[in-house]
């Protein structure tokens, strides 16, 4: 590959090949079965070929195609067992790698952004990319003062590619829907399109990263690399060494999975309160587990990368979220329903039974009903099947609910994080995190808990008194 494909007609043709390829392989599979091969064998090969084409097209095109693939990849835990294997490996690869941009193109961007003598900024610069993302790739380097740094270089034509890809993907979103049962693909693509300008603005990204880095500077659980230098299409940050979260998902021990999941949950809920921002790109490629002094997962910290997509929440998460969830858990369906109507989750012309709405929401907030919740792919698949089945009451009720625009990104980030927790199979104290950081969720009589749910380095904590929840 010589460069990022930029011509709209070229990108459109490649993307259009995806649904056509799915249809063609289905016909191929039917022919194989008629030829005497078993359905299981043909089905496995069919899914593997589909997964390989998906990675090849989305990864090569980068831009909006890869952004869509990364967003999709965190939901692979909702796939049925017989489909999950091929897609899991292939979609997860999108979180960590993609075909690289040529060194000559990288040098040209660096020269345009840092000047003809750009190499003077670096003591060392590795032309081989360390990671590739949807609109840029990262190179490892040593800054002129000796600091190890990550240099993110934006692909030429990235903006055009983002808009073109997402426009084309939206045109056949319905054909892509079966990849993830229970998920409406079109709103996901629309929301990604709305974020294009911010995604391309490295100035906004640097500002958000600085805010997080300063807030979590001395934190025992989260580490954010500081920004070293920023230009229009180049962002230089401190290098962050650690175990990729995707590696823990692939082969981590249960202890490692639990630690990673608990750190991820804490970060999700604490970020808006502490920074006024919501990190809105929670796919595993953006997280590292940073080892501490003991060399075990017990003192891992969560390293967080890529602040190109954030939601600005100066007051933290909207209190309506916590208030409604608390009312639902406490059995106050009437008041919760009235608040949902007031906030626009139920349109004025629609009338629903408050208790039916509560029954629809309770399984979704099940992780907040207990002191510890074990996330799993089976649980995720069950939720997806419940909502996706057109014959189910949950599906019919869900179609009548409305998601106000101000909640779109919060909703996607929460679902994506839950998808990652299910990939991890982690046991997480989500109720504790929500009571600590989600406005309106803690019981009125309960004191505000502290940040750390675990005592440092193996000390024994006093058990929490579990609040009574009416279900």
- The full DSSP string for 242-293 is -EEHHHHHHH--HHHHHHHHHHHHHHHHHHHHHHSEEE----GGGEEEE--S
Quick one: pLDDT at residue 177? Answer: 54
DSSP 351: -
Q: Which residues pair with 230 in a beta bridge?
A: 235
Q: Under a CB-based contact definition with an 8 Å cutoff, are residues 296 and 266 in contact?
A: no
Whether 34 shows a pLDDT value over 80: the answer reads no
Residue reference for tokens 């045109």: 171
Please answer whether residues 132 and 126 qualify as being in contact, where contact means their C-beta atoms are separated by less than 8 angstroms. no
Segment 122-148 shows an average pLDDT of: 91
> What mean pLDDT, rounded, does the chain reach?
77
Asked if 67 and 192 count as a contact pair (C-beta separation under 8 A), the reply is yes
Residue 185 has a pLDDT of: 63
The residue behind tokens 């009903």 is 369
**Better pLDDT: 20 or 93:** 93
User: Nearest-5° angle of CA 43, CA 29, CA 21?
Assistant: 100
Task: Tell me the sheet residues that pair with 223.
Answer: 303
pLDDT of 360-411, one tens digit each? Answer: 888 888 999 899 999 998 898 888 778 777 788 887 888 888 888 788 789 8
Give the Cα separation of 94 and 65 in Å (integer).
11
> Would strands 301-304 and 222-223 be described as parallel, antiparallel, or unpaired?
parallel
Task: Give the dihedral sign, CA 150/153/159/164.
Answer: negative
pLDDT of 343 over the 60 cut = yes
Cα angle for residues 240, 245, 246 (degrees, 5° grid): 125
DSSP 448: P
What is the CB-side half-sphere exposure of residue 406 using CA atoms within 13 A?
11
For residue 126, pLDDT beyond 60:
yes
Encoding tokens for residue 292? 């501490």
In DSSP terms, which residues pair with 154 in a beta bridge?
Answer: 136
Answer whether 52's CB lies under 8 Å from 180's CB.
no
Strand ranges (E), 49-145: 122-132, 136-143
Q: Tell me if 76 sits within 8 A of 89, measured CB to CB.
A: no
Q: What is the pLDDT of residue 64?
A: 46
CATH number of this structure's domain 103-158+197-238: 3.30.200.20
pLDDT at 464 > cutoff 50:
no
Give pLDDT, residue 40.
41
> What band does 83 get if pLDDT is binned at 50, 70 and 90?
low
Where exactly are the structural domains of the chain? 103-158+197-238, 241-471
Most confident range (mean pLDDT) of 21-35, 58-72, 220-234, 341-355 is 220-234
């Amino acid at each position: 590959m010589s460069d990022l494909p930029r011509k709209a007609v070229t990108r459109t043709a490649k993307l259009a090949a995806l649904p056509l390829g799915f249809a063609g392989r289905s016909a191929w599979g039917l022919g194989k079965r008629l030829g005497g091969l078993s359905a299981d064998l043909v089905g496995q090969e069919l899914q593997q070929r589909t997964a390989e084409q998906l990675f090849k097209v989305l990864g090569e095109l980068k831009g909006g195609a890869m952004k869509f693939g990364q967003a999709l990849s965190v939901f692979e835990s909702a796939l049925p067992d017989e489909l999950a294997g091929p897609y899991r490996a292939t979609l997860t690869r999108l979180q960590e790698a993609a075909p690289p941009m040529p060194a000559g193109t990288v040098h040209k961007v660096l020269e345009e952004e840092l000047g003809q003598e750009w190499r003077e900024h670096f003591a060392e610069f590795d032309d081989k990319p360390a990671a590739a993302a949807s609109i840029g790739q990262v190179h490892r380097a040593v800054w002129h003062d000796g600091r190890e740094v990550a240099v993110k270089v934006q692909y030429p034509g990235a903006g055009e590619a983002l808009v073109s890809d997402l426009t084309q993907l939206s045109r056949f979103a319905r054909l892509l829907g079966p990849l993830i049962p229970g998920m409406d693909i079109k709103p996901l693509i629309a929301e990604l399109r709305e974020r294009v300008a911010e995604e391309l603005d490295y100035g906004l990204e640097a500002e958000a990263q600085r805010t997080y880095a300063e807030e979590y500077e001395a934190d025992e659980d989260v580490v954010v690399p500081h920004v070293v230098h920023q230009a229009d299409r180049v962002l230089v940050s401190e290098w962050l060494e650690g175990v990729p979260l995707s590696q823990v998902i692939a082969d981590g021990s249960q202890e490692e999975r639990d630690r990673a999941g608990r750190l991820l949950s804490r970060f999700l809920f604490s970020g808006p309160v502490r920074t006024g921002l919501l990190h809105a790109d929670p796919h595993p490629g953006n997280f590292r587990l940073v080892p501490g002094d003991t060399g075990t997962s017990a003192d891992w910290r969560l390293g967080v990368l890529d602040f190109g997509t954030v939601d600005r929440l100066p007051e933290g998460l909207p209190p309506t979220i916590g208030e409604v969830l608390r009312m639902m858990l406490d059995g106050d369906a009437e008041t919760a329903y009235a608040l949902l109507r007031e906030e626009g989750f139920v349109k004025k012309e629609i009338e629903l039974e408050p208790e039916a709405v509560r029954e629809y929401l309770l399984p979704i907030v099940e992780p907040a009903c207990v002191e510890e919740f074990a996330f799993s792919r089976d649980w995720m698949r069950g939720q997806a099947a419940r909502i996706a089945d057109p014959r189910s009451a949950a599906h019919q009720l869900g179609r009548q609910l409305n998601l106000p625009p101000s909640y779109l990104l919060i909703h996607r980030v929460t679902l994506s994080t839950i998808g990652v927790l299910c990939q991890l199979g982690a046991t997480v104290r989500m109720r504790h995190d929500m009571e600590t950081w989600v406005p309106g969720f803690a019981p009125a009589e309960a004191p505000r808990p502290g940040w750390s749910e675990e005592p440092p380095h193996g000390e024994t904590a006093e058990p929490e008194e579990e609040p009574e929840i009416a279900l």
